[in-house]
Structure formats: C-alpha cells, structure tokens
Amino acid sequence: FLHKLVLGIETSCDDTAAAVVDEAGNVLGEAIHSQTEVHLKTGGIIPPVAQQLHRENIQRIVQEALSASDVSPSELSAIATTVKPGLALSLGVGLSFSLQLVDQFKKPFIPIHHMEAHALTIRLTNKVEFPFLVLLISGGHCLLALVRGVSDFLLLGKSLDIAPGDMLDKVARRLCLIKHPECSTMSGGKAIEHLAKQGNRLHFDFQPPMQRAKNCDFSFSGLQHVIDKMIMQKEKEEGIEQGQILSSAADIAAAVQHTVACHVAKRTHRAILFCKQRGLLHQSNAVLVVSGGVASNLYIRKALEIVTNATQCTLLCPPPRLCTDNGVMIAWNGVERLRAGLGILHNTEGIRYEPK
C-alpha cells in the first residue's frame, strides 16, 4: 500500500461503527449498527442496554468494515478508537475490543476524542486549513470551538445544561410524535423538522435563552420546561389526555425549531465576532464548520447561513452521513494524528480493559 491505513472504531453512545480510511482520505470500507430503534421504544438510552447491543455487534461491524475495504488487520498502520467523552459503559466495549486487536496484531493505538473527530471531519471532504470555527450540535453535545490544529482546540462556548438534540428529542417525546404516522421512525429532531413544515411558528412565542449573556454558551433546559408547560396547558385546552397528539403539535414544533435556530445562530454570531476582533480568524475568508446530528436540520442551517453571510464567513457542513456518529471520522482523526505524529501509543499497558 502506498498510504497509511487506519481502522477507526466508535462506540461512545448508541452507534457501533467502524471504518478503514487511508492517508489520502479515501474511505475504503465502513459499517455501522444503529441502536436508535431500540432506544426510541424505551424513551431514551439505558446505558446497560446500549452496552449489551455494542457487545453483540462490535465484532461483526469491525469485520464488515475490514472486509469491505479488503484490508487485513495486519496491513493496518494503526487502530484509532473513541475513548472520550461518552457513556462509560459504551466506550468500554469499543476500547476493550480495540485493545484486543492492538495486542493481537501488534499495532499502534490512537485514542480519539469524539468531539475532535467531529470537528476534523470536514478536512476529509473539503480542503479546509487551520484555523476554523466549529459548531457541534447533536443529541449529546453542544459546543463552539476554534480549531487551531489537529489537537489544538480553543473552547469558546458550550451548553450549560443539555444539548439541543436532547431537548428536541424530549419535546418530540412529550408531543408523542412516535405515534404520529409520518414520524414514527424518525429521531426526535428529525420529527420536529418534518412536522414544523406543516406548522405556523407565529402561533407560539418562546424566547431564545441567554439573550443578555456576554459569552458563547448555550442553554436548552429552561426552554424545554417552558415548552413542557405550554404542552400541558394545550392538552387541557384541547381536552386531551397526555399521550395523545395535540392538534397544535405542528405549530409547537415550528416555534421550537425557530427558537433553537435563533439561539444557536446568535451564540455563533458572537463567537465569530469575538474571533475576528482578536485576529483569531481570517477577516475575509473565515470558515464556520457545522456538524452533529442537529446540523442536518435545514431550518437551523438557514439561520446559520444568515449569520455567515453577514460576517463574510463560509459555512461548511460535512455530508449528513458524516454529521452523525460514524466510524469514518474516528479513522480520519487517526490519520490526522498519524500524519502530525500526535498521540500515537505503542504501549497500551496502562489502558484498562472494560470491567467484566
């Protein structure tokens, strides 16, 4: 092989994913098993259940990624695996499995930070130089950071409570959208986006959070409680039981989506201005990368486009399949670290296996 080859393994939350990526950024093979359907039924992720599902699938998923790439483990340059942040029980499965491979095939191990992997994914698909700004918005994360290098991140803001995707999932659950014939198989956020198209946001007026906070942090739980109360009130007005779908569900979805979009766009606007004023970003050709599951929301993206247009920035999003959790981003982060000679472990003795 001309290029270095990295196997990436991701089990930080509810996706068991693996991929083989070469040094040039070619995805040679990938596989993913999503647990979303199971967790939708239980109304959220139950960590031991997620752990069990990772255990049942990891061998097959890694095997599929390797087979699709026609690469044998002995040909790999390194194995890269998400080690933080995430659910400890889920992370343990990927780490344990990876360390077994590392031992068996005597390969270097590259521990990967899940957020850094999300942030660097754009460099696999687009020619983006450092520094750039990244906004990560998903079910588990919410942050704004300046990316100055492969492992040089300046955190500008984060959620003080829950992530926007988590909030959208909770609102969707409260609205019982899983019972909605058009949304039953969608994630909460996707269901909200779908329903919002049929609703009128002006029927509800939710205030974006933290309007006077002079920083780039986020907050979603206060808004979520306001919405919860509003739903309860509407249920009373419409005379329906909790568990049935409100006739105003689409209007609520539209207003919620709009408020989240406003909040995210305003915090991002602050971050861009902050970086430009201090010379941390280019004045005329700065790049804002938006990623994470919530970034696939086209309404939120439109709001961000308004901000980037007003500040002479370029808005870039990885393709949807790379915005959500996947093995490719982990393998690619491994490639970036291999090229930069950063964080490559040749001895994994200090790293513990998953407790049995």
Distance CA 260, CA 76 (A): 43
- Residue 31 pairs in a beta bridge with 18
Q: Pattern 84-123, binding to ligand KG4, x per CB under 6 A?
A: ----------------------------------------
Q: Which partner from the list Zn ion, ligand KG4, none does 92 bind, CB cut-off 5 to 8 Å by kind?
A: none
Contact of 264 with 137, CB cutoff 8 Å: yes
Can residue 290 be called a binding residue for ligand KG4 (CB under 6 A)? no
Q: Closer to ligand KG4 by CB, 169 or 251: give it.
A: 169
Contact of 90 with 13, CB cutoff 8 Å: yes
Token duo for residue 282: 């280019």
Q: Which of 8, 29, 111, 188 binds ligand KG4 (CB under 6 A)?
A: 188
Q: Closer to Zn ion by CB, 23 or 161: give it.
A: 161
Can residue 325 be called a binding residue for Zn ion (CB under 5 A)? yes
Buried-state track 272-285, b at ≥16 Cβ within 10 A, e below 16:
bebbbeeebbbeee
Q: Which partner from the list ligand KG4, Zn ion, none does 287 bind, CB cut-off 5 to 8 Å by kind?
A: none
Distance CA 351, CA 71 (A): 26
Can residue 140 be called a binding residue for ligand KG4 (CB under 6 A)? yes
Q: Which of 51, 69, 297, 333 binds ligand KG4 (CB under 6 A)?
A: 297
Sheet with 78-84: list strands edge to edge: 27-34, 15-22, 5-10, 78-84, 109-113
Specify the stretch interacting with Zn ion by CB under 5 A; choose among 30-38, 172-180, 182-190, 322-330: 322-330
Minimum Å gap between C-beta 115 and Zn ion is 8
Specify the stretch interacting with ligand KG4 by CB under 6 A; choose among 2-10, 37-45, 183-191, 274-282: 183-191
Contact of 94 with 58, CB cutoff 8 Å: yes
Token duo for residue 262: 């406003």
Can residue 139 be called a binding residue for ligand KG4 (CB under 6 A)? yes
Q: Which of 8, 292, 318, 327 binds ligand KG4 (CB under 6 A)?
A: 292
Q: Which partner from the list ligand KG4, Zn ion, none does 293 bind, CB cut-off 5 to 8 Å by kind?
A: ligand KG4
Minimum Å gap between C-beta 114 and Zn ion is 6
Per-residue DSSP letters for 61-106? Answer: HHHHHHHHHT--GGG-SEEEEEEESS-HHHHHHHHHHHHHHHHHHT
Specify the stretch interacting with Zn ion by CB under 5 A; choose among 25-33, 220-228, 300-308, 318-326: 318-326
Contact of 180 with 195, CB cutoff 8 Å: yes
Look up residue 315 and give its DSSP letter.
Answer: E
Q: Which of 13, 27, 142, 183 binds ligand KG4 (CB under 6 A)?
A: 13
Sorted by sequence, the CB contacts under 8 Å of residue 56 that are 6+ apart come out as none
Q: Which of 296, 308, 333, 348 binds ligand KG4 (CB under 6 A)?
A: 296
Judged by the rule CB under 6 A, the positions of this chain that interact with ligand KG4 are: 13, 138-140, 165-166, 168-169, 187-190, 193, 292-294, 296-297, 324-325
Judged by the rule CB under 5 A, the positions of this chain that interact with Zn ion are: 325
